[in-house]
Amino acid sequence: MSSRLEGKTVIVTGVARGIGKAIAEMCSEEGASLILIDTDEKVKEVAAGPRTYALVGDVRDAELASQAVAEAVSALRRA
């Protein structure tokens, strides 16, 4: 494991499975804080840990998108 993304916060959508899940896991392994969004509850199981925030919902929902950005700003402040 390297730490190329240490101190970074990454927002990944569509992460309950497939390409999004693989990207989220890779970013976690590289040390990033994560904001994860998916309509599927399984989003909560992806890269679960203290630096991961999972949001269940439709990424087309503007309120959810704003919430994700707010979470990212908080995570960046703590990083």
Nearest Cα neighbor of 20 from 4, 5, 2, 35 is 35
Residue count, binding to ligand NAD (CB under 6 A): 14
Q: How far is the CB of 5 from ligand NAD (least distance, A)?
A: 20
- Residues facing residue 11 across a β-bridge: 35
Per-residue contact track with ligand NAD, 38 to 77, x per CB under 6 A? xxx-----------------xxx-----------------
Q: How far apart are CA 54 and CA 42, in angstroms?
A: 9
Instruction: Pick the stretch among 16-24, 28-36, 44-52, 67-75 that binds ligand NAD (CB under 6 A).
Output: 16-24
- The CA-atom distances, in angstroms, between 65 and each of 4, 56, 58 are 26, 11, 9
Return residues touching ligand NAD (CB under 6 A): 13-14, 16-20, 37-40, 58-60
